[in-house]
Amino acid sequence: SLLMKRKLFLYNFKNLRWAKGRRETYLCYVVKRRDSATSCSLDFGYLRNQMGCHVEVLFLRYIAAWDLDPGRCYRITWFTSWSPCYDCAQHVANFLRSYPNLTLRIFTARLYFCEDRKAEPEGLRRLHKAGAQIAIMTFKDFFYCWNTFVENREQAFKGWEGLHENSVHLTRKLRRILLPLYEVDDLRDAFKTLGL
């Protein structure tokens, strides 16, 4: 099926602060081609990690096989259950540099951090610097995914308790990660001056 089961979506995309047991990453995608002022949808669907291969790399292999026309502009939108790990962020950043006619927007339900907490934020910064737009999913994004990628049997999307608060918390965390380093240093200096 092109559509995800409701329970699968709700379990994997729930934006909990501590999402124990959720080890797989799901990626819902939309690929569009831009023709002047209009855009044309080319494909949509979802993927998940496969044995030994993260979902971001699977998608890159999939889209690279399309033999994209370098004279046309493409927009790819991802909705992911976890943000990319450091290695995947590197792969995606390199891919974006190879395809300047392609833009990527990533909306993620949760931020992924491995044992080495310094690696993933650096990967996200490099990915952002390569041109990817990265944001945390909000109610509107979960609603869109529910109506686009989920076999919902026409049931309306109902947010869970804490959805908004967790989105706000994660958005602030992502904003701090993506701040240019000189701004972080300026903030540290300002706090030192204030004695904080």
Average pLDDT value for residue range 148-169? 94
As a whole-number percent, the residues of the chain with pLDDT over 70 amount to 89
Please tell me the pTM assigned to this model. 0.87
- Spatial CA neighbour of 73 closest among 113, 120, 39: 39
8 A C-beta contact, residue 142 and residue 157:
yes
Q: Output the pLDDT for position 117.
A: 61
CATH topology for 6-194 is Cytidine Deaminase; domain 2 (3.40.140)
**Which residues form the catalytic set?**
56
As a whole number of Å, the CA-based R_g of the chain is 18
Tokens standing for 158? 């109902």
Where in the chain are the domains? 6-194
Question: Does 188 have pLDDT greater than 70?
Answer: no
Average pLDDT value for residue range 70-91? 94
